[in-house]
Amino acid sequence: MRSRQRMFAAVMRLLLKCLRLGRRRRFKLVRQVEQLWHYGHLCLRSLLYNSFTNGDVVLDSLFEPIYWLVDHVTRWFGVVFVALVIGLTSSIVAIVYICLLPLILQTYTPAWICWHLTYGHWNLIMIVFHYYMAITTSPGHPPQAKNDLTGVSICRKCIAPKPARTHHCSICNRCVLKMDHHCPWLNNCVGHYNHRYFFSFCLFMTMGCIYCSISGWEMFRDAYAAIERMKLLEKERLQVAANQTYYQTPPPTFSFRQRAFHKSVVYLWVLCSSVALALGALTLWHAALITRGETSIERHINRKERQRLQKKGKVSIAHSTGAGWGRARRDVPLPVLQVFRNPYSYGSWDNWKVFLGVDVPRHWLTRVLLPSPHLPHGTGLSWDLPPCVMEQRAPLLAI
């Protein structure tokens, strides 16, 4: 009897020990799982952590697939856009030579004929020259090998030195010196070496479209009225033909040549007016950027940097926006704040001289009003003071 009790007690003790060991192992396994979970969560946060992360970064990440699609579509359709520009421009030139020029030679005075021939051909030569140079001239790329450049950063995509004012083009997949933007109508980036060609093409194309719109306004009104008269007579002719037998067909009121002439004039005026409005707005925007010594990308960067420094109280809001401290009390000391300035701006007039490459007064004729393949100032790798700039104000605070 006692032996059975002892055996039962031993079995119970062994069972209790097994239960205790199972609980300890179970608790230990749970602790290990929790530790692995916290460790994995910490690793994930460390990989994704960025002190500069904000709403803009999150939006850029969400729209990254759309950016990728736009970049690839723009890359492959660049040739189509260039062909479209050449085709539309050629159609306007053909209409002018075939339809309008004979009419001008027959009806205008000799003085107006000389004006139209001189200005029209000069404007056409400037458009063709600058467009050809803009699409064939490389915008400039930084060297991929190591060099002696100082104060450069490293492009995260090219893994190569990136000089000042250089940005990476996701469409060309290369860094571009003094990049402004990638233009699909050129199938090329607008950068240091072809920025002047791009702006000159926009300017002269706008001037040519305005010239055609103003010169062809009376012709457009007459052609539009003639087309409306054609439609009215066509309706009357169909009504007369409906009351006659099938073998009695009335003669046409307008010939094919007349119809083509009037429709070509309407097409010319509508297309030139539309391009003048759209391209004129773009030209004015780039003219404002050139006046400030900025590119399209630098405009965005400078605005963001100015806002960031204003929030920190390091930049005078009044000076950076052009306002003054006129309403401040005289007995209250004004805070000593720095003024935000663009380090690549030399003043409005000097910015235009640097951009156009005007070193002496005769260059306004030989380099601006006539086709000129001269190179811009500098190499795009460093930004020293150009020789045409007499003096430069040192920026108190710049990026």
Q: What is the pLDDT of residues 68-117, one digit of tens each?
A: 776 667 777 888 999 999 999 999 999 999 989 998 899 899 999 999 99
Q: Are 123 and 212 in contact (CB under 8 A)?
A: no
What pLDDT was estimated at residue 289? 95
What pLDDT was estimated at residue 313? 72
Domains in the chain: how many in total?
Answer: 1
Whether 43 maps to a domain, the answer reads no
Rounded to 5 degrees, φ, ψ at 182 are -100, 120
Q: What is the pLDDT of residues 37-78, one digit of tens each?
A: 888 777 777 666 666 666 666 676 676 777 677 666 777 788
The percent of residues above 90 in pLDDT, for the chain, comes to 41
Q: What is the Cα–Cα distance from 311 to 317, expressed in whole angstroms?
A: 9
Which contacts (CB < 8 Å, 24+ apart) does range 84-93 have? Answer: 85/131, 85/185, 88/271, 89/127, 91/267, 92/212, 92/268, 92/271, 92/272, 93/124
| pLDDT at residue 120 greater than cutoff 90 | yes
Whether 100 maps to a domain, the answer reads yes
Q: What is the pLDDT of residues 122-147, one digit of tens each?
A: 999 999 999 999 999 999 998 877 66
Q: What is the pLDDT of residues 224-249, one digit of tens each?
A: 998 888 888 777 766 666 665 545 55
From 183, 202, 209, 212, active-site residue: 183
Q: Which of 259-263, 282-286, 346-350, 387-391 has the highest mean pLDDT?
A: 282-286
Q: pTM of the entire structure? A: 0.75
Whether 3 maps to a domain, the answer reads no
Among 140, 173, 141, 177, which residue's Cα sits nearest to residue 158?
A: 173
Whether 303 maps to a domain, the answer reads yes
Whether 6 maps to a domain, the answer reads no
Q: What is the Cα–Cα distance from 198 to 283, expressed in whole angstroms?
A: 10
Whether 175 maps to a domain, the answer reads no
Domain with 376, as residue range(s), is: 81-137+202-240+256-315+341-394
More confident residue, 156 or 117: 117
In this prediction, residue 330 has a pLDDT band, given cuts at 50, 70 and 90, of: very low
Let me know if 99 is a catalytic residue. no
Whether 191 maps to a domain, the answer reads no
Query: What value does the mean pLDDT take over residues 291-314?
Result: 84
Residue 236 vs residues 167, 210, 251, 258, 339: alpha-carbon distances, Å: 64, 38, 12, 19, 74
Whether 40 maps to a domain, the answer reads no
Q: Is 150 helix (H, G, I), strand (E, B) or coil?
A: coil
